[in-house]
Structure 1
């Protein structure tokens, strides 16, 4: 059922330059929860393509309530400069977004990553639905991007093949990283379950998804990333593995990512606003 959310303007500031606008909105999510989202857009009334960027989840659950609406200035500025409207939602149970945290995956030794991802994806879809109702958004041109748990939400959403989405990008997506393991130590909770969930998503996914991981990713190391994408079962959807993860202050171009051609198309065409 399509939601009919109502926006509440909370703040309005200029970001990046005098021509970019930023505002905080509220929108409805499944079960009646209210999500808080940061929206950035170029100036003017023209309809623009949309990108929804999805945050991760802290390993320490006590930090969820303190999260603020994300901004990701470098990534957001990249899309703004190319004419995109950028929406960055806080999912249920994070920060000021209401509702019970919906994406719990259960015990570390028996995690349900599949349904946890679909819960996250429902909030992403609610954001897409809300943003497409705005007069400045082109309803048929949406990209979905996510990192960590937000990347996993992106992969989960791909299994639903939302219309008007020509491509998605998963940065280091997964769940269950950096957890206390039943046998002691810190690591990923039952990585085989991640691979199995990825296979279930891939069984129905038809939208191109670009997977990007780093060689020194301590949450989802390259061998696991390759297993996940292989299970997802599209040969062109493979991790673009860089030499090392970028620091928070740098932007790194991953050469393999710029040449990937999901479904026979260059990603530059997916990003095009023309």
Structure 2
């Protein structure tokens, strides 16, 4: 009995000593879980908060190009606290099938990551979309840079994928032209949608359009902009205005209108089956970007 107890104690000590940044979820090992799914802890702009993240990897040792998926958000603090860990499994699987390792970090102020919410846009009429986007971009960049230090990740060829407010942060990141980022993919990017929980109502839309133009002025990274026709957060018409403003500011945009998705197109990126709608268009657009000349600053 003492021998068994000693073995149990040793096993517990070894488990607690494992580095937190690479612990796998559940009881399965990384080669047994789908796409070698692992839970990670990565840096965030809040020094007191590490971001929980999910990592998916293709077979083999790499090094793999990296795709970082940035999730949506809400101004409602209770809803943020109750958000489940973002995974975007169908979208992640789409990239893993093309040889990418995929990181989905949960930004501060959300779900079990907790900590301070750094992306507050302020009041509806005076929403500060520039600083909200830049705060999101900082979180994405820190997670990306930490992951690119891993030996199984390439330092170049990174793709940033953003959804909704995460897509807005990706546009702000495009404005900074981070080294090694080959393309930005934005699913219905924006902020302030469903103002007061009303479909097609957006806080200060003119301010949103002006901020998109500001991001475009310094952006050289190509952007693939995807919107479903039945998106009630950022309608097809408003999304075109945002994309045009970004392009007129100087940014490079490939805008793709996608067919309706279920009852609400805004959740296309994070839902199972969404790849049946965006897959072909994204594949074509991404191949055009990746076979073209690399963007230089």
For the aligned pair, the TM-score class normalised by the smaller chain equals 0.7 to 0.9
1:20 Cα deviation after fit: 2.5
Unaligned runs of 5+ in 2: 1-18, 263-267, 293-297
Q: Could you say which structure has the larger radius of gyration?
A: 2
1:9 Cα deviation after fit: 3.2
| Aligned match of 2:117 | 101
1:23 equivalent in alignment to 2:23: no
From 1, 4, 11, the counterpart of 2:24: 11
TM-score, length basis structure 1: 0.85
| Aligned match of 2:64 | 48
1:35 Cα deviation after fit: 0.8
Aligned residues: 260
Structure 2: how far apart are the matches of 1:145 and 1:165? Answer: 11
From 124, 138, 160, the counterpart of 1:144: 160
Superposition map of 1:1-274 within 5 A: 8-12=21-25, 13=28, 20-32=35-47, 33-58=49-74, 60-180=76-196, 187-233=201-247, 234=250, 237-246=253-262, 248-250=271-273, 251-253=276-278, 259-260=284-285, 266-267=288-289, 269=291
Deviates more, 1:94-103 or 1:151-160: 94-103
Q: Given the superposition, is the C-alpha separation of residues 79 and 49 from structure 1 closer, same or farther in structure 2, using an over 3 Å criterion?
A: same
Q: Given the superposition, is the C-alpha separation of residues 71 and 19 from structure 1 closer, same or farther in structure 2, using an over 3 Å criterion?
A: closer
Q: Given the superposition, is the C-alpha separation of residues 125 and 185 from structure 1 closer, same or farther in structure 2, using an over 3 Å criterion?
A: closer
Q: Given the superposition, is the C-alpha separation of residues 19 and 254 from structure 1 closer, same or farther in structure 2, using an over 3 Å criterion?
A: closer
Q: Given the superposition, is the C-alpha separation of residues 232 and 186 from structure 1 closer, same or farther in structure 2, using an over 3 Å criterion?
A: closer
TM-score, length basis structure 2: 0.79
CA deviations 1:22-68 (Å, max 9, x no partner) are 11111222230311111111233221110001111146431211223
1:14 Cα deviation after fit: 6.4
1:10 Cα deviation after fit: 3.8
CA contact (8 A) 1:165 1:207 kept: yes
CA deviations 1:97-138 (Å, max 9, x no partner) are 243101110000110011000000100001111100111101
Query: Which of the pair is proportionally richer in strand?
Result: 1
